[in-house]
C-alpha cells in the first residue's frame, strides 16, 4: 500500500497512461498553425488609428469609439503587447505636449554626462531656478509612467486632464510658479545581449564519459521538449536584453536626491512645493505636507491613520490613480494657505515630525 501511494497508485497510473495516449494523438503541426500574429505595431497614434479629441479623450479616428484592449479574441499576450506599444507612443506624445504646449525645456541627466553613457532627463520651466517666489515640483508614481504622467490607464481610458500633470503645470505657470517635472522611472536603458554576454555552461567535467553522455542525452531531450513548448506558448521569442543603469539615477530615490542636489536646492525660490503621486511621495513624507488619499469620504475630509504620517485627507475618490486629479483644486488651495500662513507668522499645519513626536510619546 505504501509503495502504491509513493508511486501514485493504480488510479494515478491510469490517468498518466490516458494523458500520454491523448498527447500522442494531438496533431502538433496543426497546433503550431494557431500562432499569434507578429508583434509588430505602428509607431504613431495615427498608425493605431487613434487620436486625442478636443476633450483630450483617446478616440478611434473612424468610429469615434474609446480604445479597445481586446482587439483580437483569445490573444491576451498579443493584446498586451499592443497596449504597451501604444503606451510608448503616448509617452512621447506627452513629452511633446510638455515642450510645445507647456513650454518646458528638456534637461539631460546627469548634468555632466558624456556622449556615450546612458542618460535620463527632466523638464523645467525657463524660470525654474531663478523664480524668487515659488517653485512647484511634480513627481509621479512607480511603474510604466514617465515625466508628465499620473497614470497611463487614465490617459488611455479617461482623458489627458485626469491622467497627466498638464493641468497642474498650466495652473502653476498661470499663478507665477517655476516648475520642475521629475522623471523617476527613467532609470536605465535596455540593450540586446550578444552571444558573448550570454553565460555558457562549462564543458569540463570529472564525470565518467558514459555517465556524461547519458546526462547530455537527457538534457538534449529536455531542451527539445522545452523549446517546443516555448515555441507554442511564446512563438515569437523576444530578444534577450540587459539593463544599463543611468549614473546617479538608477532608482526613483536616487533620481529624486540627484534632482534635489543639482536643481531644487540651487533654485532661488523662497517657497518650494511638491505634488508627489503614490510612490513618488516616499522621498518627501517628512516635509510639511498633506496627503490626499483614496477614500469614500468627501474631498478634504480628515482621514485617520495608524501610522505617524503627515496629515491625511480624502481625495474624494476611492480610485488610487485618480487621487492627484480629484484633489487638484484643494492642492493649490493648500499651497496658497501655506504661503499666507508663513507670511503672517501663523502656526503652520502640523508636519510629520510633530505627529511622530506624539506617536513616540504614546
Read off the pLDDT of residues 5-22 as tens digits, 9 standing for 90 and up.
Answer: 445 566 777 777 776 666
pLDDT of 31 over the 60 cut: no
Cβ-proximal residues to 221 (8 Å cutoff; 6+ apart), any chain: none
Between 135 and 289, the higher pLDDT residue: 135
**CA–CA separation, 250 and 183 (whole Å):** 11
Residue of 120, 278, 295, 324 with catalytic role:
278
pLDDT level of residue 90 (50, 70, 90 thresholds): very high
Range with the largest mean pLDDT of 30-34, 281-285, 327-331:
327-331
**Radius of gyration for the chain, computed over Cα atoms and rounded to the nearest angstrom:** 28
Mean pLDDT taken over the chain: 82
User: Which pLDDT score is estimated for 287?
Assistant: 45
CB–CB of 88/41 below 8 Å? Answer: no
pTM above 0.75, yes or no: no
What is Dmax (Cα atoms) for the chain? Answer: 89
User: Which pLDDT score is estimated for 326?
Assistant: 93
Beta-sheet pairing, 241-245 with 58-60: unpaired
CB–CB of 93/103 below 8 Å? Answer: no
pLDDT level of residue 230 (50, 70, 90 thresholds): low
Q: What mean pLDDT comes out for the span 217-243?
A: 65
**CA–CA separation, 312 and 298 (whole Å):** 13
User: Which pLDDT score is estimated for 291?
Assistant: 84
**CA–CA separation, 95 and 155 (whole Å):** 14
Q: Alpha carbon of 330 to those of 88, 151, 188: distances in Å?
A: 31, 20, 35
Cα angle at 210 between 208 and 216, to 5 degrees? 100
CB–CB of 317/300 below 8 Å? Answer: no
Q: Which of 35-49, 130-144, 169-183 has the lowest mean pLDDT?
A: 35-49
pLDDT level of residue 56 (50, 70, 90 thresholds): very high
Half-sphere exposure of 26 (CA within 13 A, CB side): 9
Alpha helices in the chain (DSSP H): 2-7, 9-24, 28-32, 76-100, 152-157, 160-163, 166-174, 209-233, 252-262, 323-326, 328-343, 352-361
pLDDT level of residue 50 (50, 70, 90 thresholds): very high
DSSP label of 194: P
Between 220 and 140, the higher pLDDT residue: 140
Range with the largest mean pLDDT of 154-158, 219-223, 311-315:
154-158
pLDDT level of residue 82 (50, 70, 90 thresholds): very high
Q: What mean pLDDT comes out for the span 100-124?
A: 97
Q: H or E stretch including 50? A: strand 50-52
DSSP label of 322: G
State the residue for C-alpha cell 515642450: 99
First to last CA, the chain: 62
pLDDT level of residue 199 (50, 70, 90 thresholds): very low
Q: Which of 166-180, 195-209, 277-291, 343-357 has the lowest mean pLDDT?
A: 343-357
pLDDT level of residue 349 (50, 70, 90 thresholds): very low
DSSP label of 56: S
User: Which pLDDT score is estimated for 235?
Assistant: 54
pLDDT level of residue 115 (50, 70, 90 thresholds): very high
278 has catalytic annotation: yes
Q: H or E stretch including 183? A: none
pLDDT of 224 over the 50 cut: yes
Q: What mean pLDDT comes out for the span 84-107?
A: 97
Amino acid at each position: 500500500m505504501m509503495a502504491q501511494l509513493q508511486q501514485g497508485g493504480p488510479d494515478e497510473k491510469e490517468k498518466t497512461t490516458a494523458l500520454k495516449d491523448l498527447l500522442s494523438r494531438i496533431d502538433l503541426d496543426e497546433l503550431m498553425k494557431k500562432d499569434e500574429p507578429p508583434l509588430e505595431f505602428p509607431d504613431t497614434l495615427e498608425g493605431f488609428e487613434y487620436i486625442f479629441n478636443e476633450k483630450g479623450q483617446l478616440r478611434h479616428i473612424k468610429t469615434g469609439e474609446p480604445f479597445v484592449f481586446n482587439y483580437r479574441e483569445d490573444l491576451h499576450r498579443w493584446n498586451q503587447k499592443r497596449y504597451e506599444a501604444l503606451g510608448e507612443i503616448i509617452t512621447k506624445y506627452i513629452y511633446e505636449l510638455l515642450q510645445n504646449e507647456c513650454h518646458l525645456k528638456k534637461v539631460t541627466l546627469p548634468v555632466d554626462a558624456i556622449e556615450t553613457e546612458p542618460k535620463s532627463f527632466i523638464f523645467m520651466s525657463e524660470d525654474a531656478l531663478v523664480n524668487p517666489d515659488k517653485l512647484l515640483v511634480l513627481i509621479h508614481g512607480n511603474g510604466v509612467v514617465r515625466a508628465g504622467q499620473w497614470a497611463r490607464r487614465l490617459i488611455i481610458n479617461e482623458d489627458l486632464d485626469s491622467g497627466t500633470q498638464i493641468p497642474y503645470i498650466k495652473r502653476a505657470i498661470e499663478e507665477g510658479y517655476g516648475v520642475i517635472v521629475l522623471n523617476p522611472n527613467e532609470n536605465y536603458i535596455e540593450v540586446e545581449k550578444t552571444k558573448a554576454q550570454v553565460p555558457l555552461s562549462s564543458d569540463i567535467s570529472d564525470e565518467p564519459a558514459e555517465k556524461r553522455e547519458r546526462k547530455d542525452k537527457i538534457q538534449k531531450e529536455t531542451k527539445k521538449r522545452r523549446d517546443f513548448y516555448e515555441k507554442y506558448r511564446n512563438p515569437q521569442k523576444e530578444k534577450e536584453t540587459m539593463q544599463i543603469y543611468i549614473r546617479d539615477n538608477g532608482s526613483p530615490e536616487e533620481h529624486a536626491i540627484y534632482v534635489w542636489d543639482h536643481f531644487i536646492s540651487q533654485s532661488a525660490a523662497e517657497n518650494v512645493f511638491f505634488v508627489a503621486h503614490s510612490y513618488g511621495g516616499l522621498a518627501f513624507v517628512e516635509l510639511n505636507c498633506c496627503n490626499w488619499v483614496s477614500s469614500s469620504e468627501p474631498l478634504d475630509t480628515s482621514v485617520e491613520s495608524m501610522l505617524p504620517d503627515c496629515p491625511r485627507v480624502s481625495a474624494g475618490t476611492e480610485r488610487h490613480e485618480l487621487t492627484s486629479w480629484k484633489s487638484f483644486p484643494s492642492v493649490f488651495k493648500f499651497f496658497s494657505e501655506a504661503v499666507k500662513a508663513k507670511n503672517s507668522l501663523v502656526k503652520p499645519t502640523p508636519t510629520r515630525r510633530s505627529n511622530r513626536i506624539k506617536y513616540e510619546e504614546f
